[in-house]
Amino acid sequence: MALLTGKTIVIMGVANKRSIGWGGAVSAAKQGAKLVLTHRSERAGEQIRKLLAELPDTSASVVRCDVTDDASIEEAFAQIGESTGRIDGIVHSIAHANVEDLQGEFVGTSREGFLLAHNISAYSLVAVARAARPLMTSGGGIVTMSYLGGERAVENYNVMGVAKAALESAVRYLAKDLGKDNIRVNAISAGPIRTLAAKGVRGFNDVLHTMQEKAPLGRNVDAEEVGDVTAFFLSDLSRGVTGEVIHVDGGYHIVG
């Protein structure tokens, strides 16, 4: 039997076919999950509908959710609850910072830019976990996406690194709270992947190149590989794991 048969998984943050969240959607669908995808922009909604048409199982639904708006989160999860009754997992693959805060010196980050990055990239996990909890009546898994820049000061990552550090810490505090409901909360620290979010950001190609050169596996990783680890975290195979950050980066983080 597939790993996620009978489970409903909500995937948040797919913008197009290159999105890491879409890697999670494909892996979860392969493992038999029923999918609900959420999006903010109309454009992302259209992209998602097109992508879903390529999946063999067409029972997936699409719901609008703006994670900067509590009412929108409430409405989205009320809608999901009405249509599915119960959810078994969440994939949170959402981040955003002003492009001017992703280059040059971190010390120049404005208060507004700092708060924006933390609001969308870290607080959103807390708000979503709170809204999803009452629907996760059989327990389940919440998985979010991080990057090495949350642990190290990586050129250009700047405010997003500080937001990822907050996100990884939120994973541990949420895991502590939600463990009593048998809800596990984990993060994947993914290697650099050419997504829409990465498009146009300074220094991205250099990071891809260094990764290929230095990672023990000698190559970059892709969204499907991150998706498979996401499916593992959503499944009962990882039932003893919570509050963890696992690197899916070809081993890059272990080398000096």
Closest to ligand N5H by CB, 140 vs 161, is 161
Q: Report the nearest approach of ligand N5H to the CB of residue 21 (Å).
A: 11
Select 31 or 156, whichever has its Cβ closest to ligand N5H. Answer: 156
Closest approach of Cβ 43 to ligand N5H, in Å? Answer: 9
CB of 210 to ligand N5H, least distance (A): 9
| Separation between Cα atoms, residue 85 and residue 142, nearest integer Å | 17
Residue 54: other Cβ atoms inside 10 A: 9
CA dist 82 → 75, 76, 179 (Å): 11, 10, 25
> Which of the residues are catalytic?
147, 157
Q: What is the spatial distance between Cα 143 and Cα 149, in angstroms, rounded to a whole number?
A: 18
Nearer to ligand N5H, 8 or 144 (CB): 144
Q: From residue 195, how far is each of 88, 113, 157, 174 by CA, in Å? A: 27, 22, 15, 27
Q: Which is nearer to ligand N5H, 174 or 207 (CB)?
A: 207
- Please give the residue ranges that form the binding site for ligand N5H (CB under 6 A): 15, 95-99, 102, 147, 149, 154, 156-157, 160, 192, 196-198, 201, 203-204, 207
Q: Contact 23/226 with Cβ under 8 angstroms?
A: yes
Least Å distance, CB 1 to ligand N5H, is 34
DSSP E strand stretches across 168-238: 183-190
| Half-sphere CA count of 88, side-chain side, radius 13 A | 19
Q: With H, G, I as helix, E, B as strand and everything else as coil, classify residue 186.
A: strand
Instruction: Work out whether strand 183-190 and strand 8-12 pair parallel, antiparallel, or are unpaired.
Output: unpaired
